[in-house]
Amino acid sequence: MEPHAHRTGASPSPDFLTYQRQFTDYLRDPLQNEAMPPDLPPQIGIYARLLFNKIEGSLNACFPIFRQLLDQSDWHSLIRSFIKDHSCKSPLYREIPDEFIAYLINEQSTLSIPDFMKNLAHFEWMELVLEITESDPVKARFSGNDNLMTAIPVVNPVLHQLCYAYPVHKISPSNTSWRGWKNWRKRLHRIKAEPVCLVGLRDKHYTVHFIEVSPATARLIELLQDAILTGEQAALQLAIEMHVADREPFMNYCRNILDSLKQEQIIVGTTEIR
């Protein structure tokens, strides 16, 4: 007797797939689907409102300053466009802001968003990224040699270097220039780019900080992140890249920078291991 053939699960019926497509289409774009297919439940409008409110609440919490630069109708229009047009890669509620950033930066929304606001949204999103990054608690772990020039500095493991075309960390209602940012639609000229380098980090108290640094300091941190160079070796490499002729004052400058990075918990230890 031949063994029974293995039965796989039955494929969904065409009618069910049609129903499922109609249901999700309505949730994505209820305003454009007011002539609701008769097979859908009358309560589907409630589901659509719940979906919108849940996503709007998540994005409002993650992007508060970005939200304040848009009036309510534009904010809601942007969220509807996101729900309607973006194909999410993750089903997780926590990752809605991640999906929104991907949509805002890589896709064309129905609402024209200026570049400085895209920079701002990414900056606000990075605060969430730093808050939830899984890592051991940041503790100072200095070897017997705590001389940052002769030992190998250890960079904070919860740290991101960020470069923006606009000073996003200064866009705030508490800043005196807030009105200029807030009234971006009424400006006669585009907001001028003002590049900035920031280091975002989470300290030993699980508090997130953003620190403005010079391009040279940003490069010095980058050279140290692999934990294979001493502070002096990284400084010498930076001097070569910057074509510095007079090395002695430059090395003193880098020594002071390293001490500052230690105070700011950008450097959290030293090691002798290569």
Segments in the chain below pLDDT 70? 1-14, 31-37, 188, 273-274
Percent of the chain at pLDDT exceeding 70: 91
Could you please report the per-residue DSSP string of the chain? -PPPPPPPPPPPPHHHHHHHHHHHHHHH-GGG--S--TTS-TTHHHHHHHHHHHHHHHHHHH-HHHHHTS-HHHHHHHHHHHHHH---S---GGGHHHHHHHHHHHS--SS---HHHHHHHHHHHHHHHHHH--------B--S---TTTSEEEE-SSEEEEEESS-GGG-STTSTTHHHHHTGGG-SSPPPP--EEEEEEE-TTS-EEEEEE-HHHHHHHHHHTTS-S-HHHHHHHHHHHTT-S-HHHHHHHHHHHHHHHHHTTSEEEEE---
Length of the chain in terms of residues written: 274
What pLDDT does residue 6 have? Answer: 46
Distances (CA, A) of 223 to 102, 157, 263: 29, 14, 19
Question: Model-level pTM?
Answer: 0.86
Burial of 243 (0-12, 13-18, 19+ CB in 10 A): exposed
Enter the CATH code of domain 15-113.
1.10.150
Q: Which pLDDT does position 195 carry in this prediction?
A: 96
- Contact between residue 103 and residue 79 where contact means Cβ atoms under 8 Å apart: no
- Give, in degrees to the nearest 5, the angle at Cα 186 between 182 and 190: 85
Gap between the Cα atoms of 154 and 143, Å rounded: 10
* Cα(22)–Cα(91) distance, integer angstroms: 20
Q: Which residues pair with 209 in a beta bridge?
A: 201
CA distance 26 to 32: 8
| Domain boundaries of the chain, sorted by first residue | 15-113, 136-274
pLDDT at residue number 24: 78
Q: Check if CATH label 3.20.20.80 holds for domain 136-274.
A: no
Query: CA torsion sign, 35 to 40 to 41 to 47?
Result: negative
| Strand-pair partners of 163 | 197
- Give whole-number Cα distances, 121 to 32, 55, 115, 151, 269, in Å: 28, 16, 10, 38, 32
Tokens of 166: 């606009």
How far is residue 81's CA from residue 78's CA, in Å, rounded to a whole number?
5
Q: What is the pLDDT of residue 273?
A: 67
pLDDT value at residue 27: 78
pLDDT at 31: 62
